[in-house]
Amino acid sequence: MRGILVPFIGNMANIAKRPLIAHVAVVLMAVAMLYGCSTANKYSKLTADTKNFHPKSIVVLPAIVGEHGAGADEIDGVVAAGLNKRGWYKKVVDGAATRKQIEGSEELAGALAAYLQKLDMFGIADNAAARKIKKELGGNDAFLIVNVTSWDYGRAGGNKVAKAGFSLRLVNLETGAVVWIGRHEVVEEYTLFKPELKDVAADTIAVLAREMPH
């Protein structure tokens, strides 16, 4: 996969001065490669750890955009807006705000790197790292890992299409367990006028948000 971008890291000159934040970048690049850049029809799965988990506050991590870096700023806003629209959560922190927190805290960056590395490389939910993340994020109930699987224009069956797809994972910050996984892609056909990708993405997130624990 070429052109992998991690938007919350900032410019490369600053990365060298902040090794823990750079480590988060490396881990998120690995996550993007593990989960790929394509998606099938809607998939939604609650885990056994979902029982009695009713989050009231969710922190959206900066999107893992892969080769779709051009839409990073819009993507962060679309995801949070979709969750807010459901009206289930008292507080939703968008990816842009979370990015600023990560850039300003080596402790948070280090805890996220540790958690994501163990989760995606070994399938282990690091409870200690999750609790540290919770503390650094102000005691919120959960965080949402956002992987962008499609964000582009193309052709399908001879028709022009706009595509926006996401793979989401919701993590209980008290236990570190992944409590929900969802994937979906919306493909919208058009003739003369291109639909805005952020609008197609909003439709994708609306479908996924209906499936999330609340």
Domain containing 53 equals 7-209
Q: In this structure, is residue 1 part of a structural domain?
A: no
Contact present, 147 and 181 (Cβ < 8 Å) = no
Give the strands of the sheet with 142-156, arranged side by side.
43-46, 178-190, 159-172, 142-156, 57-60, 91-93
> In this structure, is residue 103 part of a structural domain?
yes
For residue 83, what are its two tokens? 């969750």
Residue 214 counted as domain residue:
no
Q: How many domains does the chain have?
A: 1
Question: Is residue 179 situated within a structural domain?
Answer: yes
- Over the stretch 26-48, which tens digit does the pLDDT of each residue have? 555 544 444 333 334 689 999 87
Position 140 scores a pLDDT of 95
- CATH number of the domain bearing residue 189: 3.40.50.10610
Question: Does residue 178 lie within any of the structural domains?
Answer: yes
The confidence score (pLDDT) of residue 26 equals: 52
| pLDDT score for 23 | 52
Residue 43 lies in a domain: yes
Give residue 69's pLDDT band: very low, low, confident or very high (50, 70, 90): confident
- Is residue 15 one of the residues assigned to a domain? yes
